[in-house]
């Protein structure tokens, strides 16, 4: 389904990102993904998905626009082109931080990772997609960008205003980019997960009091699995989604409707 395509997936060494790398590889794409510290895990995933020539792990911090541009440049150097960008990386400071007490350092760090680097990634990816040749059989599609937001970006999250602000901005960015880029053949969409079982959420979901409260707020009765997020991301980058642009796809078990 994605034969001949090159995808860059950020935050691909674990959780939703790692499962997205697997699905895109299985769909035929050549995949580059970044990691920051987990070198062994990232290299094992790249080997699992075909190794050099099919899947590569790139060490790159993402906290500034320059970081984002550097990662896109390295992915293009590796595979020669870029057809798909999935912006999956992000941080969620787990400890509650009421706004009156939140450290400026935390605010700036969350903005840098979750938003500033996204600007650089998108800017560089769009430039590359506009420059490269468009396959004749895909006259109306130049590329796909999928940004990962959150239910927090739609309804807020008390004591985590920094995170919620960045994820709300991702939704606004999706809509702005869609209006700007759809006429050029670049489809920009957003996936907004709710609670998903990952390392990042493990402490909250496993808490004896908080965990059951979280599950009770999800109409389907449980957190999501990583493949249940990666699957919709893959769908949005296939020809089956060719008429979808600027969409915020909620994948949260119905939680955004009852929170």
CA distance 165 to 158: 11
Q: Which of 35, 92, 163, 195 is labelled catalytic?
A: 163
CA distance 233 to 230: 5
Tokens matching residue 164 = 């919620």
3-state SS of the chain is CCCCCEEEECCCCCHHHHHHHHHHHHCCCEEEEEECCCHHHHHHHHHHCCCCCCEEEEECCCCCHHHHHHHHHHHHHHHCCCCEEEECCCCCCCCCCCCCCCCHHHHHHHHHHHHHHHHHHHHHHHHHHHHCCCCHHHCCCCEEEEEECCCHHHHCCCCCHHHHHHHHHHHHHHHHHHHHHHHHCEEEEEEEECCECCCCCHHHHCCCCHHHHHHHCCCCCCCECHHHHHHHHHHHCCHHHCCCCCCEEEECCCHHHCC
> By the 8 A CB rule, do 50 and 59 touch?
no
Active site residue 163: yes
Other beta carbons less than 10 A from residue 4's beta carbon: 11
Cα within 13 Å of Cα(9), Cβ side: 32
Q: Which residues are catalytic?
A: 163
């Amino acid at each position: 389904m994605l034969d001949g395509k090159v995808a860059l997936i950020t935050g691909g060494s674990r959780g939703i990102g790692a499962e997205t790398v697997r699905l895109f590889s299985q769909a035929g794409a050549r995949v580059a993904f970044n990691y920051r510290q987990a070198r062994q895990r990232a290299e094992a995933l790249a080997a699992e998905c075909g190794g050099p020539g099919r899947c590569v792990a790139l060490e790159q911090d993402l906290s500034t626009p320059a970081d984002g541009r550097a990662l896109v440049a390295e992915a293009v150097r590796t595979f020669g082109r870029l057809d798909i960008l999935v912006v999956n990386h992000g941080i969620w400071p787990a400890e509650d931080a009421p706004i009156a007490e939140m450290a400026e350092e935390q605010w700036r760090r969350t903005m840098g990772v979750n938003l500033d680097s996204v600007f650089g990634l998108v800017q560089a990816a769009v430039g590359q997609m506009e420059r490269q040749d468009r396959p004749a059989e895909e006259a109306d599609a130049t590329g796909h960008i999928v940004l990962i937001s959150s239910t927090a970006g739609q309804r807020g999250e008390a004591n985590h205003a920094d995170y919620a602000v960045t994820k709300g901005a991702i939704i606004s960015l999706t809509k702005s980019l869609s209006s700007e880029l759809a006429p050029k053949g670049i489809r920009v969409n957003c996936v907004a997960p709710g609670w998903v079982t990952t390392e990042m959420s493990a402490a909250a979901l496993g808490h004896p009091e908080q965990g059951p409260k979280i599950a009770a707020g999800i109409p389907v009765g449980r957190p999501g699995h990583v493949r249940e997020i990666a699957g919709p991301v893959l769908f949005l980058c296939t020809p089956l989604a060719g008429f979808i642009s600027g969409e915020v796809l909620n994948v949260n078990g119905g939680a955004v409707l009852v929170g």
